[in-house]
Each structure stands twice: as C-alpha cells, then as structure tokens.
Amino acid sequence: MPFQRSARRGSTYLPDSTAMLNSRKWFDRMQPQTLQIATWLLYINGFFALADLLDGGGVLSYFRYRYTFGFVLGLLVVAAHVAGPFLMANERRVGWQLSVAAAAAPIVMNFIAYSQIGASWRLRIIGSSLISFAFDVAVLALLLHTQSREHQRIWYH
C-alpha cells in the first residue's frame, strides 16, 4: 500500500509520513518573514533558471552545451527551485534542505564554470552579474538566518 487517499481532495498520505502534502499549498503565511521572502525569491529564481536553461546565455546553458548531463543537471536545479519552497510550505525539513541546495547551486556553478575557462577570481566568485550574485547571496542568507533555522528545526518534520 504505497499511497492512501485521504478524506480531503487533492491530498495524499505518503509512506511513513506524519502529515499530508497539500498540493494546493505553495506558500505558508505562518512562516517567519525570512522564509516567506526566501520562498518567493526561490520561485522567481526558478523561473529565470528555466529561462536560462532553455534560452541560453547563462551558466546553466554553459553546462548544457559543455556536458552531456548538463541539461539534466539544469532540470534538477530548476526542480529544486520549485520543490524546495513547495515542501517548505508543507512544513517538510527536506524542503528547507533542498531550498538551501537550490540557493547555493548558482554560486557553486558560477565558480565551477568560470574556473574552467580560467577567469579571474572576481568572476569566479561574483560571476558576470553583480545583481544576480547579490540575489543569490540574499536568498542563501534568508534561508540560513537564525530565525529560519530555528523555525525549520522546531516546526518542520
């Protein structure tokens, strides 16, 4: 019995879970402000990551054209930007962990891509856009903020 239907429509019990995932809950207004802002920024960054992957011109398209697994890696990054905040809205600790990984992915991928082409240390750390780097660091800082960490430690399961 892998899945059981619940009495509420649109909800499914997952194996060995103590709570339901609500497929209609994409944002939790009861979270601290740091997690609320991080949730919206992750959704927005996920949209732009998808545009970068498909349209080209950024780090995800660099990985797409350079490596055979690049497109799959890009899809995983985009999926992490969507699944992380969705699971956080449904009070799952794995959602917070996935969101931290999604927020760190652009910084790590920028460093790898610019290191491979032998760019300067400034480009390796910041990348080609200071504004994009600032947003990436802001999302990571919001997720790793003391208030966010305490909330996920106490309330998430």
Q: If DSSP states are collapsed to H, E and C, what string results for 41-63?
A: HHHHHHHHHHHHHHHCCCHHHHH
Per-residue pLDDT of the chain (157 residues; tens, 9 = 90+): 444 454 455 555 555 555 678 788 888 889 999 999 999 999 999 999 999 999 878 899 999 999 999 999 999 999 999 999 999 999 999 999 999 999 999 999 999 999 999 999 999 999 888 999 999 999 999 999 999 999 999 988 8
* pTM for this model (two decimals): 0.84
Q: Give the model confidence (pLDDT) of 114-133 as tens digits.
A: 999 999 999 999 988 899 99
H or E element that contains 11: strand 11-13
118: left (phi over 0), alpha (psi -120 to 50) or beta: left
CA gap 9, 5 in Å, rounded: 8
Q: Record the tokens describing residue 25, joined without a space.
A: 């809950």
CA gap 70, 17 in Å, rounded: 33
